[in-house]
Amino acid sequence: MWALHVSFRETLGRSQEKMAFWRRNTYVEKERHVKANAPDYNDKFSYADNHIKTSKYNIFTFLPINLFEQLQRVANAYFIVLLILQLIPEISSLSWFTTIVPLVLVLLITAVKDATDDYFRHKSDQQVNNRQSQVLIRGSLQNEKWMNVRVGDIIKLENNQFVAADILLLCSSEPYGLCYIETAELDGETNLKVRQALTITSDLGDLSKLMDFDGEVICEPPNNKLDKFTGTLNWRDNKYPLDNDKMLLRGCVLRNTEWCFGMVIFAGLQTKLMQNCGRTTFKRTSIDKLMNTLVLWIFAFLICMGVILAIGNTIWESRIGQKFQVFLPWNQFQSSAGFSGFLTFWSYIIILNTVVPISLYVSVEVLRLGHSYFINWDRRMYYSQTDIAAVARTTTLNEELGQVEFIFSDKTGTLTQNIMVFSKCSINGQTYGDVYDEFNEKVEITEKTDCVDFSFNPLCDRRFKFYDGSLVEAIKLEDPAVQEFFRLLALCHTVMPEEKSEGHLVYQAQSPDEGALVTAARNFGFVFRARTPETITLCEMGQSVTYQLLAILDFNNVRKRMSVIVRNPQGQIKLYSKGADTIIFDHLDPSSEDLMYTTSEHLNEFAGEGLRTLALAYKDIDENYFEVWMKKFLFASTVTENREDQLALLYEEIEQGLMLLGATAIEDKLQEGVPETIACLNLADIKIWVLTGDKLETAMNIGYSCNMLRDDMNEVFVISGHTLLEVQQQLRSAKEHILSLSRVSSAADVEKTDVFADDSMFEETIIAEYALVINGHSLAHALEPQLEHVLLDLACLCKTVICCRVTPMQKAQVVELVKKHKRVVTLAVGDGANDVSMIKTAHIGVGISGQEGMQAVLASDYSFAQFRYLQRLLLVHGRWSYFRMCNFLRYFFYKNFAFTLVHFWYGFFCGFSAQTVYDQWFITLFNIVYTSLPVLAMGLFDQDVNDQNSLRYPSLYKLGQQNLLFNKRQFFLCTLQGMATSFLLFFIPYGAFSVLVKEDGSHFSDQQAFAVTIATSLVIVVSVQIGRDTHYWTAVNHLFIWGSLTVYFVILFAMQSNGMFGIFPNNFPFVGMARNCLQEKSVWLVILLTTVVCVMPGLAVSFLRVDLFPTLTDKVCHLQQSRKRHGPQERSLRRVRRTSSRRSAYAFSHQQGYGELITSGKNMRTSTASSARSPERALHSSKWIENMLKRKNEVSCISESTGAPESSNRAIPTPKQQQED
């Protein structure tokens, strides 16, 4: 029965899908109406089902769509036209199979490759569509495939399950209809977020109540806004407002919630996740596009040659040809000389078409396939820890890897591991975390460094590592300051504990920072075990201690700190506070002044190492004072007007006179080699923009850790306006600031010439280093048509660009903006579903095989496990692929112009009769056999510099960015060389044969001997030329070049032998011609002369260019050759360390009011949620501390300087700029 029901639903789904297809063009959804448990009502709107499709083809559409895509290559359409011409016997002097076989081959190879790529997309779609979901049908829960879920269905989710569609949360296993979700697939954040059902639906946990639920939702139509939802629930004659906090979006994962029920609002391609994914587009390289233009040029050139030869034939036939009609009569349809010229035109079009042979495209596909395998086989891009190798998921974009100018990178999971590590701390003026040797010298911590032994603590987290044993000794000696330090970390937080078994604790933190701090306290003997709305239970050095939780002073954007007030078992009331050091220092008791100086120095040291810092302080509170304060607090908590302001004043009052304990330093662990990779890519003139859904503060912290942001930058602009006008003013003021500095710089040198002054201004704009940081809400305005050019101009003036709090669609829009207006090659790299859209939009998409699923990898063109491999992908494989492809194309056009244009010169001496110089077999085999393998070997294995030097000298990469190796100018030069070679190949033998005699005194009177001489000269010349163009010789190159020459002579003598004539007399009529011709010494002298004259000019020009005007590549090649005798030298990249003094404050992730949620007890069964926070910009110099002490009462002024309002109408400078101002 269940199978029958599934089959019925699938059939119904297909029919609805067809109906939706026809209605899609006529119905534009302006408002969505969804009724629960009413499929008939919902079906009339023809909403999309939950089936998703990321593939491009199906069985029926593959052939026409793929052929259409391939015919976008002008050359493929060009060869089809030629094939049609060759089928007309009156004008064709070549057999049709010389074109159709290679054409079908190249179309087939490309089609198989595209089909394979799309097969994996189909497989991924099928895997997702066939996931199981529990759907409420006729009073019972039934398992349904995701693809069969419909809008209006009520579905049940269980813990750790993916959300199948965009659903309205109705109820959950948690009190008050709360549930917790992880949104890593949407915004890259792994911290938990809270969602809460409407109170009216939160008690619908029973199936019978859910079946009776008939509420109707009226809401916005499908859109891509992840952070916004507007709707209304109509039920029982009442209306209830709906917002984003009531929605669970597809791609989220249910966490720490046993179960929940929801009603499907958007399904399939209409979900917000899929609306952000973008479409799969057909990507072509810039060389492909250039080739289309060149083929058109060549075709125009071919027509010109055909017209010239046709005119020549018309003149020759009218003046001379008529005299030969006695023994060369015209055919019946050939009525005049003009018509003869018309036929000759088409005949020459066919003969001369080999200037662009179809074998060129076959060879290009083979080269790209080979380059892809080299990427797959590169062991230096293999990550052994996860057993993941680099994979080239496409073969069409390899040379594009050598031309990238912009990289758009995600942050979480791409640049970072999203792992926070408690690294160092300062307690009572003493730093802990560094390791020293017996000479009291600091030792660099590596994987081989011995960790501290925490075996004394049975509840320790064995994954936690710390290397300074002196801190453990201080704990064991019961140092009161150290104990109070870790007691604060164990009490002042919003973490929720889960003890799955005795002693097996799991902490659910709303941010990785808090988890790291509580875990550190746990390992040092202060274990957070449990919490209730009124108590917090710790295990302090093996003793269970329960604290009464009196109040949580919540975090908000202005306070930048959180505090808890507790009563310990001795009855003492204590306030523990943690937050940004600038804020905590403002609230310290004067007795902590000396300690503040010392701690500030330690904070500067921590910040210089790129660590995220946090100051800790406490206060003893008098019982009577607290009772009075608590009454004020309870009153302020219940007022309706200005509640936040009154609470803020009370918080400020009780948090005065704090005693400083110390500071923590957390390392937001980057992936290995990220700073070095970014530094190297910057040297290659590649601009890296970070596009992240994370908070501004967190994104800037990573920017400093990666050395993308530095203290020595001229200025860092923060764009955070909330309106179009504010954003416009901030962008323009930042741009004018940069340009005004440039004008001042150029005006300072008035004595210089105008030209020099202009150069100075330009140089200042390029050399001066600026950074741009922009928020998601500001970016939405900046991407409007009237502002996008201002944004792009400002961003391109900056060395670093960081966009934070951006949606997946905004990521794609930023990439599209650069693609559209800068016309450069872009690359997007990410690891989660929220990166899929920009990966598809960029010219090249790279997926990191990380911890956020495989969506990014499946949508990407290349994938690997670590960001650092991007350096090798671009600077080695990309540069080599571009270099090889350009050399291949230049040589291929050269040899084919040299081969083909001999027919053009010959036309002036054969009455323009479309007679070929070479025999048909040589024309057929020249590109397929005689010259194919050497050029393939060069295109596959050649390298100007090895991989070590490619990484050592990143500036070599700029040749590809500037497109210097193959462009229209290079094409013109190589075709000119080919034309000159063809001229020499024809006229040197022609002149020699006019006076040449055999050894017996007779003349060379036959055309075939002339043809064999030219053909042999051609094969030798192009073989010598490819040897001269080859930079890196391998055994394969030697085999293919000398082997191809050998094969030429073997085939030549075989085809003109007595045996072949005896078997196929009509196909091989020239018996013994090669033997008779090539046994003459004079013929070999002609071949030698032709070869020398053709090769020597190019050789001389090449030698003089390298000697007189050497490029960077020439210099590196020379250096590489001089070092060969010393053996290969591996490059050891110097570790790039951050030297910034900027303090990176604690990343508060939870939203205002979270403390109230804890103390209310609504969430005691699970962990808490997280949301956004605003950044804090910390001042960090000792001068600031002195000024702060002098102005102790001017707290508000300092607060304004450290946290300017985001709605300001000018770009917000960084702390460094504030100091300079």
Residue 629's contacts (CB-CB under 8 Å, 6 or more residues apart) are: 650, 653, 654
The Cα 363–Cα 929 span in angstroms is 12
The Cα 11–Cα 7 span in angstroms is 6
The Cα 490–Cα 522 span in angstroms is 7
Q: What DSSP element (H or E) covers 496?
A: strand 496-501
Residue 1118's contacts (CB-CB under 8 Å, 6 or more residues apart) are: 1110
CA end-to-end span of the chain, whole Å?
Answer: 77
Q: What DSSP element (H or E) covers 418?
A: strand 416-427
Task: Give me 489's structure tokens.
Answer: 């970390």
The dihedral through the CA atoms of 472, 474, 476, 480 has a sign that is negative
For 63, 109, 777, 888, the CA distances from 363, given in Å and listed in that order, are 23, 11, 49, 9
The Cα 9–Cα 164 span in angstroms is 17
919 included as an active-site residue = no
By the 8 A CB rule, do 737 and 791 touch?
no
Q: Is 131 left (phi over 0), alpha (psi -120 to 50) or beta?
A: beta
Among 118, 410, 835, 942, the one annotated catalytic = 410
Task: Give me 18's structure tokens.
Answer: 């067809």
The Cα 636–Cα 652 span in angstroms is 14
The dihedral through the CA atoms of 161, 162, 165, 166 has a sign that is positive
Q: What DSSP element (H or E) covers 837?
A: helix 836-841
Q: Which of 893, 891, 977, 976 is nearest to 939 (CA)?
A: 891
Sequence-ordered strand ranges (E) for 554-655: 561-567, 573-579, 612-621
HSE-CB at 273 with a 13 A cutoff on CA atoms is: 29
The Cα 291–Cα 579 span in angstroms is 60
In one-letter notation, the amino acid at residue 54 is T
The Cα 304–Cα 299 span in angstroms is 9
The Cα 1216–Cα 607 span in angstroms is 14
Residue 416 CA to chain centroid, in angstroms? Answer: 14
Task: Give me 277's structure tokens.
Answer: 């994914």
Residue 261's contacts (CB-CB under 8 Å, 6 or more residues apart) are: 136, 154, 155, 156, 157, 169, 170, 171, 172, 204, 205, 210
DSSP H helices, 1165-1214, are 1182-1190, 1195-1202
By the 8 A CB rule, do 499 and 529 touch?
yes
Residue 1078's contacts (CB-CB under 8 Å, 6 or more residues apart) are: 1012, 1016, 1084
Q: What DSSP element (H or E) covers 553?
A: strand 543-553
The Cα 518–Cα 540 span in angstroms is 13
Task: Give me 70's structure tokens.
Answer: 């391939």
In one-letter notation, the amino acid at residue 11 is T
Q: Which of 154, 259, 269, 260 is nearest to 217 (CA)?
A: 154
The Cα 874–Cα 951 span in angstroms is 10
Active site residues: 410
